[in-house]
């Protein structure tokens, strides 16, 4: 349960799954080597998210994959998730930490250096930074053109906790995000909408791992 080791992070959204269940997508992503899964599904009821969360908890626990819940600290507690991810308009990081305890993973969405530093001060374990590229998701960023890998680098230089880039990321454009200092990348449609989610996950993981190797080699030179 170390966000520094997350290379691929799936954020669930059933509406993009082409009729497949979220559990089916998560199972395939696990087969492809996903490191963390975030239960999102904001358009569903709390009861539905709870019941889905129980299914995902079983799948991820068996595979040794971290399970994070978007926004809802109560659901995270109820399904014994590994942690919660909060946005700028959700419960503060410190409150989530107090409710979940010291062992839980608490992540926070940020898009600026100031937000990132504040989240770190409040005790966040990792940051979801974006939207890196343009995205149609209402959950990430307020800049339709994206903040770009340059902002990832600026935030990585400003904080000491791991960063996960999110927003419009694909296997084709993930490399600059990892090279800029992100530990990994979080995606929705790149895996969920793929005809072969397992293969899409594996391709994304390979791109990130290779790019991080290049970046680490450059920094060590």
Feature table: binding site = 38-42, 70-71, 90, 109, 135-138, 168, 188-189
Decide: 106 and 125 in contact? Cβ < 8 Å.
yes
Cβ atoms of residues 123 and 100 within 8 Å:
no
109 is catalytic: yes
Tokens of 167: 């927003």
> Catalytic pick from 27, 72, 109, 212?
109
* Run of H or E including 103: none
Do residues 66 and 107 lie in contact, with contact meaning Cβ atoms separated by under 8 Å? no
Assess whether 57 carries a catalytic annotation.
no
Catalytic residue among 27, 40, 49, 151: 40
Tell me, yes or no, if 138 is annotated catalytic: yes
Q: Identify whether the C-beta of residue 109 lies closer than 8 Å to the C-beta of residue 85.
A: yes
Q: How many residues does the chain have?
A: 221
Residue corresponding to tokens 């507690």: 77
What burial letters (b/e) apply to 182-193, b meaning 16+ CB within 10 Å?
Answer: bbbbbbbbbbbb
- Which one is catalytic: 47, 138, 160, 195? 138
The tokens describing 173, both together, are: 């454009």
- Binding-site residue numbers for Mg(2+) are 71, 90
Q: Which residues are known catalytic residues?
A: 40, 109, 138
């Amino acid at each position: 349960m170390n966000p520094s080791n997350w290379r691929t992070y799936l954020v669930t959204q059933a509406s993009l799954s082409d009729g497949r269940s979220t559990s089916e997508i998560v199972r395939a992503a696990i087969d492809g080597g996903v490191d963390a899964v975030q239960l999102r599904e904001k358009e569903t009821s709390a009861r539905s998210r709870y019941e889905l969360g129980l299914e995902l908890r079983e799948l991820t626990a068996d595979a040794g994959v971290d399970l994070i819940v978007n926004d809802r600290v109560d659901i995270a507690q109820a399904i014994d998730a590994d942690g919660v991810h909060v946005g700028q308009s959700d419960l503060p990081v410190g409150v989530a930490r107090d409710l979940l305890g010291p062992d839980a993973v608490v992540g926070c969405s940020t898009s600026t250096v100031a937000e990132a530093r504040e989240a770190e001060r409040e005790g966040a374990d990792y940051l979801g930074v974006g939207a890196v590229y343009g995205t149609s998701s209402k959950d990430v960023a307020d800049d339709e053109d994206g903040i770009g890998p340059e902002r990832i680098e600026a935030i990585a230089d400003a904080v000491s906790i791991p960063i996960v880039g999110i927003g419009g990321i694909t296997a084709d454009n993930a490399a600059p995000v990892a090279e800029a200092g992100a530990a990994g990348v979080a995606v929705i449609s790149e895996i969920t909408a793929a005809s072969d989610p397992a293969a899409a996950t594996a391709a994304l993981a390979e791109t990130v791992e290779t790019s991080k190797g290049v970046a680490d080699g450059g920094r060590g030179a």
